Structure 1
């Protein structure tokens, strides 16, 4: 039967299958924005080794290179002790003996050995036990993980010459697999690996099957020799030693890139397969606990928000307001209404309707058809301290009369200065009693806990993903852990409105209500005794109505209602046969629609520009699909 299987093996070729992992995670802890990406690298094809500070790619055997790889191996002896642990998982202790023949001149300091870390998509828990020479004398070495391999660099500071021996001993777990096409468990293993540039004058292997596994042997064995994918068979001999079964391969000469793969079949179910489910690792459980605690932390932050950080109660009922709030500048109003992006545009209009500046619209050129807006300083009289600071930012510290300022699309210095003004207004709003301080000890503790739990979730998720557990679940939970931090910040770091701040907020909401009313409703309010008393407007004196409506235009801009309000205001200008002296633009008769469009365009342009923001075989060997390089283990190496 074995002869038939080996005959069929020479007619079949399959690509090697192996899976390795590397995890790339970018984690910024202050913002914690992170990601984690799993990338595959063939476990049985460790094609990249590190030499010094540069990468040494292993070239095909047909392209030999002079240098540190220009030497040979006189022999390779591999001893593989296959056993089973108390949980039914396969175990392997490997002892590899390489005898290298280096030139007598100074070329090499030693060798590198790349050992695949994974088998059939799961880690083998590889542990390097020792690195010595043939006499058992420890050799100097360094090891690192690279492209799914443990790369062991066995070299010292001095050059080595002539015959040198290197003995590596390491252990692994879960090195067998079940193959559906053969319905058996198999130890299907590459020995030296297919990625050596050097030839081996002699190659021998000894595989020792532990006595407790001997009854499960089916009697099927395989041996394949050659380059990757080569199905040429080689002989395997069995002997018994103290109850153990010993399988040896014949003395074989190998060329560069050639390998010997051995296969031993066992009854299906002999070995317990590795559990690759998400919950099979303690890392996953810790990540889940951290995630659950993060959700609890968010709930606590919400409770803290609604109990300690809620705004003070305002008016029980919003009533219409038709005059600007006294003693409040537009930047402060924008802070209370959370409309800081529109504060600059609203302030320009406010200074204009108060005749401190004039807004001048200039038609765009042939290429740039959009209009250009200029600000013309008329006087600084009547401005409070905050408004004076704003005017100095725009026109200069001396506030020279008749100064002009073009509103450019990209004016970085002005934008930066307005951003600083916004930050200063935020501080001023707290100092003047509109807001409470938003950062407390409880907020800081919540944030600290969020950082700790997010860090635990990220670290455990990386470990679980590196073990290949649960597919994308560990990475999904990593992102969930990272999101906890900004969520906690958004919930528990806010400055709640005081009673004074809530009153101002509701007052401005009253202005919104008045602006959104139908004109008949507004007119009826102005005709009422209270309206006449508060505004001084004797309806139907349309001139006085215009002056009142002009004062509300800055708040319409702040509330993003300038288009509708400018249309109302423009209609009054049109009916009076006048035009606003604070807004210059356009020729000919006044047009209410064009006026509204211009105010809307200027506001939108200003708000956007000056917002103040900143491969193992899938078939078993005994099914006729065996070939060299198709098993686990293997790898390669080179000179140093």
Structure 2
């Protein structure tokens, strides 16, 4: 019985678990940033970048916050029971992708009802947002950044093997109990645990990023490095957004000339590479605050929104506004923080969105009515 437990349960379970871990590593397609970046690429959008960092669940919320940061909409905090309000700022101009986002959030059959938290509405919302992200994914494929088809056969194969293994293990558990074969029972239970772990470890599918996407993903990884430094209060290492230093501990990276204290150039690799920060003009505290505010949607993508909001609040308090109240400058940050608290977090934000208002407080009937609201 012990031999059967090892041959038919433990060995296969450990094998598929190892294969599942390998599949997880391959699916990650990890990139190492060559430099620390302090701003997204000019031609990028939050939705496209979300898929390039596998942040699908946070994509819609980050894109909605991006609209708030750009002063195109205003998020109005409600409560856990009442939906979050979205108000279109007067004169706002939306791109086709942004209109698609609003269409996904509010739907073409939008009505005057305030509460939109019924299960049927949430299922419809999830379907519309899934369709939105599929459209973005197809656009990335057309641009040659990702493969047209996701890689799904390893996850499907290992999942089927795991369920077959659980069936065999269940039979072995029964036989072990009937024969009082306690060592065999213990090994079978270990095999069962490994099989269940395989189901959770193995990704069901993943995108295959093509070589042209490498530079963009490295840029986003560098942007995450910059945002993550706020957690350890190490943004001072970068001196200023106009002279963002490169990481000296990254092989082949260089340290760019900073505009803060020192301003020296230090090379960590054999060659020095040019960086936009080398030629960027110095900026003051107010400009730096607005630059950091632009990164808030990306902090959401990376799961660092709480730390970044705290950083923005500290910067707002320290800004020399020459007579302008820092609270007014940081009003978007405060609104977003309140909205996230009311929604119960980033992942619940889009599910908590209620009606779409214009600047006068009137409900806009669907996104189609947005054109009328913004028209002359």
CA 1:576 to 1:327, structure 2 compared with 1: closer, same or farther past 3 Å?
A: same
Match for residue 52 of structure 2?
A: 336
CA apart distance, 1:372: 7.7
Alignment of 1:186-335 (within 5 A): 279=1, 285-291=3-9, 292-303=11-22, 309=27, 311=29, 314=31, 317-335=33-51
Q: 1:457 aligns with which of 143, 160, 169?
A: 169
Matched, 1:360 2:103: no
Query: Residues 75 and 87 of structure 2 are in contact (CA less than 8 Å); yes or no, is this contact kept in structure 1?
Result: yes
Query: 1-side partners of 2:316 and 2:120: how far apart?
Result: 34
Q: Alpha-carbon deviations, 1:227-267, whole Å to 9, x = none?
A: xxxxxxxxxxxxxxxxxxxxxxxxxxxxxxxxxxxxxxxxx
Unaligned runs of 5+ in 1: 1-278, 581-588, 613-640
Cα 1:298–1:416 change in 2 (3 A) is same
Alpha carbons of structure 1 residues 486 and 598: separation in structure 2 relative to 1, 3 Å:
same
Q: 3-state SS of the aligned residue for 2:164?
A: helix
User: In 2 relative to 1, CA 466–393 (structure 1 residues): closer, same or farther, beyond 3 Å?
Assistant: same
Provide closer, same or farther for how the CA distance between residues 546 and 441 of structure 1 changes in structure 2, counting only shifts above 3 A: closer
In structure 2, what is the Cα distance between the partners aligned to 1:371 and 1:351?
Answer: 21
Over 3 Å counting, the alpha-carbon distance change for 1:511 and 1:415 in structure 2 is farther
In the alignment, which residue of structure 2 is the partner of 1:554?
A: 297
Please list the CA deviations of residues 440-469 of structure 1 after superposition, one character each: whole Å capped at 9, or x if unmatched: 555544444333333222222223224443
1:570 matched to 2:316:
yes
Q: Does 2:193 match 1:480?
A: yes
Q: Distance in 2 between matches of 1:344 and 1:404?
A: 23
Segments of 4+ moved more than 6 angstroms: 403-406
Tell me which of 334, 339, 349 is aligned to 1:602. Answer: 339
Shift of 1:358: 1.8
Q: Which has the higher strand share?
A: 1
TM-score scaled by structure 2?
0.62
CA distance in structure 2 between the aligned counterparts of 1:413 and 1:454, rounded to whole angstroms: 35
Contact 1:356 1:381 in 2 (8 A): yes
Higher RCO structure, 1 or 2 (CA under 8 Å, sep 6+)? 2
Deviation at residue 524 of structure 1 after TM alignment: 5.1
Count of aligned positions: 304
Matched, 1:504 2:224: no
The aligned residue for residue 130 of structure 2 is 423
C-alpha distance in 2, partners of 1:404/1:358?
19
- For the residue of structure 1 that corresponds to 2:293, the secondary structure is helix
Q: Within 5 Å, give how 1:79-94 maps onto structure 2.
A: none
Cα deviations by residue, 1:9-47 (Å, 9 ceiling, x for unpaired): xxxxxxxxxxxxxxxxxxxxxxxxxxxxxxxxxxxxxxx
Q: Deviations over 1:195-242 (max 9, x none)?
A: xxxxxxxxxxxxxxxxxxxxxxxxxxxxxxxxxxxxxxxxxxxxxxxx
TM-score, normalization by structure 1: 0.39
When residues 395 and 410 of structure 1 are mapped into structure 2, their CA distance, relative to the original with a 3 A threshold, is: closer
- Give me the whole-angstrom Cα distance separating, in 2, the residues matched to 1:467 and 1:446: 31
Name the CA shift for 1:488/1:547 in 2 (closer, same or farther; >3 Å). Answer: closer
What is the alpha-carbon distance in structure 1 between the residues aligned to residue 17 and residue 55 of structure 2?
A: 27
> Going by fraction, where is helix more abundant, 1 or 2?
2
Q: Which runs of 5+ in 2 are unaligned?
A: 230-234, 245-257, 260-274, 352-376
Q: Does 1:393 align with 2:89?
A: no
The answer to whether the 8 A contact 1:447-1:488 is kept is no
1:557 shift after superposition: 3.1
- CA distance in 1 between counterparts of 2:42 and 2:61 reads 20
Matches within 5 A, 1:523-534: 523=241, 525=243, 530-531=276-277
Partner of 1:616: none
Equivalent residue of 1:355, what SS? coil
